[in-house]
Amino acid sequence: MVSRRSFFQGAGALTAAVSAAAVSRVAMAALPEPVMQSKPDTMPPLVPNTGRPYDPVVTLNGWTLPWRMNQGVKEFHLVAEPVVRELAPGMNAHLWGYNGQSPGPTIEVVEGDRVRIFVTNKLPEHTSIHWHGQRLPNGMDGVAGLNQPSIKPGKTFVYEFVARRPGTFMYHPHADEMTQMAMGMMGLWITHPKAKHPLIDEVDRDFCFLLNAFNIDPGAATPKIMTMLDFNLWCWNSRMFPGIDTLNVRKGDKVRIRVGNLTMTNHPIHLHGHEFMVTGTDGGPTSKTSRWPEVTTDVAVGQMRQVEFLADEEGDWAFHCHKSHHTMNAMGHDVPTMIGVDHRGIVKQITKLVPDYMVMGERGMADMGEMEMPLPDNTVPMMTGKGPFGGVEMGGMFSILKVRKDQKPGDYSDPGWYKHPKGEVAFEWTGALPEPARFAAEGGQSMPRQHPNGKTTEVQVRKPTGHSGH
């Protein structure tokens, strides 16, 4: 047990420190030992062994920060620092995060808990932490300059407040935010209800993750922090498909998924095979009369949406952002659409001049997934992933809800691919076909065919332009 007094002595020693490296072991001894994580795997739920009981969450490709009880106060220690995060197998990013990873660990507490969070800054610049969505004393809200002085490199600050209302919250810096959030600094905070709550159901599985985005050029490792809109890596908890773990549940489980958005755009999150209800926002649980069934819910910037459903259909169900550009990995946006353009003649002429010239996309982009083109080091293909029937052609914000009747309660391991019952998979038809119905007026075209001199002109000249303004 360490008293507050010895903590403040420790903090006094820390003020002498001038850099991250100078944080002495003696000073740190007064603080809860910072717990570090080096792997991007989904860690099993952290069942509380001190403090009041609750049903823990599972952070997708993440973990929950252990705490210590100090005279009735729950003490956590976050360390803001540069980290290396594997975004997907084959790609490591140089990010900023907390306790070895980006995003930082999930913090789980119980409604009414007094919480003390030590924040040590090992970044090369100042920082602070804002506790998004919490009711707390104004001086604990974490806006540098407004509510507190910024935490200089090498310093440790302490935040302390009572977790007043149950819900899903986020934490992130409120000092040089543009840089620090673009670099991956963020985390989730779950306040569990202290007793049975009329608007918060007990569930069998409770998943959570943050939506985040980076702009990292193929072959590079550090995000471009000035990017406003044109991000190229769309992540769940700083992972992208096929690096995002699957959500594995038992048939008949009541499942809750909490999704927070700290990107610069909205994400319509879509689940196949089931309907869900939005049961909570970062403002708290929604009223029962405000809930209706959905299969997609839009999570706007700076929002959290909590959805719940009964997993009563066995199978491997896609779960993804419905913006199709967000289920892709790094790509160039300035590529013209070539679908329907027959290049064969022109390719012959170009290859005389450029022997390895290759035309892409004349039959859609699926060819690109199959081509397995050589990539620069440290990136992942734009459309990838192998399923039991072939290429899944996805990337970014995509995962799979795996519902199995033989998944054991509390078992979060991947059960492998679903074995479909006989006769329940779409198949190729090789028999006789009836004539397909087709709208035949106007020659079957979408626009009336009309041209003043009777000729049809389909070629449009594509003029060279500058950056076309995303």
**Contact positions toward Cu ion, by CB under 5 A?**
267, 321, 323, 326
| Closer to Cu ion by Cβ: residue 71 or 296 | 296
CB of 245 to Cu ion, least distance (A): 18
Rounded CA separation 317/175 (Å): 40
| Residues contacting residue 98 through CB under 8 Å, at least 6 positions apart | 78, 79, 80, 81, 104, 105, 185, 187
| Closer to Cu ion by Cβ: residue 9 or 296 | 296
CB of 321 to Cu ion, least distance (A): 3
The DSSP string of 174-232 is -SSHHHHHHTT--EEEEEE-SS-BTTB---SEEEEEEEEEE---TT--S--TT-SS---
CB of 297 to Cu ion, least distance (A): 12
Strand partners, 309: 255
CB of 299 to Cu ion, least distance (A): 9
Q: How many CB atoms lie within 10 A of CB 458?
A: 5
| Closer to Cu ion by Cβ: residue 77 or 320 | 320
Torsion angle of C-alpha atoms 132, 138, 141, 147, degrees rounded to 10 = 140
| 3-class secondary-structure state, position 366 | helix
Rounded CA separation 277/189 (Å): 21
CB of 267 to Cu ion, least distance (A): 3
CB of 396 to Cu ion, least distance (A): 8
Rounded CA separation 373/301 (Å): 34
| Closer to Cu ion by Cβ: residue 192 or 326 | 326
Q: And the tokens for 193?
A: 């209800």
| Closer to Cu ion by Cβ: residue 191 or 263 | 263
Distance set, CA 225 to CA 126, 181, 259, 277 (Å): 16, 9, 23, 36
| Closer to Cu ion by Cβ: residue 82 or 268 | 268
Rounded CA separation 125/115 (Å): 26
CA-nearest of 21, 22, 25 to 10 is 25
| Closer to Cu ion by Cβ: residue 205 or 320 | 320
CB of 257 to Cu ion, least distance (A): 15
Q: And the tokens for 3?
A: 């008293």
| Closer to Cu ion by Cβ: residue 290 or 324 | 324
Q: How many CB atoms lie within 10 A of CB 195?
A: 10
CA-nearest of 277, 286, 283 to 307 is 277
Give kind and range of the element (H or E) at residue 368.
Answer: helix 366-371
| Residues contacting residue 252 through CB under 8 Å, at least 6 positions apart | 310, 311, 312, 405
| Residues contacting residue 180 through CB under 8 Å, at least 6 positions apart | 96, 123, 127, 172, 173
| Closer to Cu ion by Cβ: residue 264 or 278 | 264
Instruction: Give the chain's radius of gyration (CA, Å).
Output: 26
CB of 63 to Cu ion, least distance (A): 24
| Closer to Cu ion by Cβ: residue 296 or 337 | 296
CA-nearest of 118, 117, 128 to 180 is 128
| Closer to Cu ion by Cβ: residue 60 or 79 | 60
CB of 358 to Cu ion, least distance (A): 30
Q: And the tokens for 439?
A: 């709208």
| Closer to Cu ion by Cβ: residue 270 or 274 | 270
CB of 384 to Cu ion, least distance (A): 18
CB of 397 to Cu ion, least distance (A): 5
User: Distance between terminal CA atoms of the chain?
Assistant: 55
CB of 324 to Cu ion, least distance (A): 9
